Amino acid sequence: MRTSPNVIITGTPGVGKTVHCEQLVQETGLKHLQINQVAKDRDCHDGFDQERQSWIVDEDKLLDTIENDVLQGGYLIDWHACDLFPKSWIDLVVVLRCPSTSILYDRLSARGYSKSKLGENMDAEIFGTLLEEAREAYDVNAIVELTSEDNDDIEENCARIVAWIAAWKRTLETSVH
């Protein structure tokens, strides 16, 4: 039985997943599992997509590689997708959104994204693609959608997630005793 929850922090590139995870690591002691880095470091990919400038993740190999760790609990899973992780592994799915397209556009442009990659990610955010994927893969009660446009949003979001983690742990303690 896990004594700490597993939380997915997902959203379109540029919404602040990594910033949230880094702050939450400091506040909660949970471990940050940055999936792009794991795929690269543990050879869970089928090469590099030059056009998109990203690794082509071998999802089966990735899941096999992280399964033993994640089943122990206590992870913040940072990735732009969530629907590949089994429901039984995940306690909360946080979908970060950046409703201001100009803010997101500027963030992605600053990363040097190609016109096609920029357009693809802007479309995904505008149409709520990642929120829909989360809704199709997980129970609605396990999903929270949070706005991430500025530092105040990050502070508020992290406070909400920290409170949720504390409540999860209290519920676990109550059910154990």
Annotated binding residue at 18?
Answer: yes
Annotated binding residue at 74?
Answer: no
Annotated binding residue at 87?
Answer: no
Annotated binding residue at 171?
Answer: no
Q: Return the CA Rg of the chain.
A: 16
Q: How far apart are CA 170 and CA 161, in angstroms?
A: 14
Q: What region, left, alpha or beta, does residue 59 occupy, with left being phi > 0 and alpha being psi -120 to 50 degrees?
A: alpha
Q: Please say whether the beta carbons of 144 and 7 come within 8 A.
A: no
DSSP for 88-123 reads GG-SEEEEEE---HHHHHHHHHHTT--HHHHHHHHH
Annotated binding residue at 14?
Answer: yes
Residue with tokens 């357009």: 119
Annotated binding residue at 17?
Answer: yes
Residue ranges for the known binding site are 14, 16-19, 111
Residue ranges for the known binding site for ATP are 14, 16-19, 111
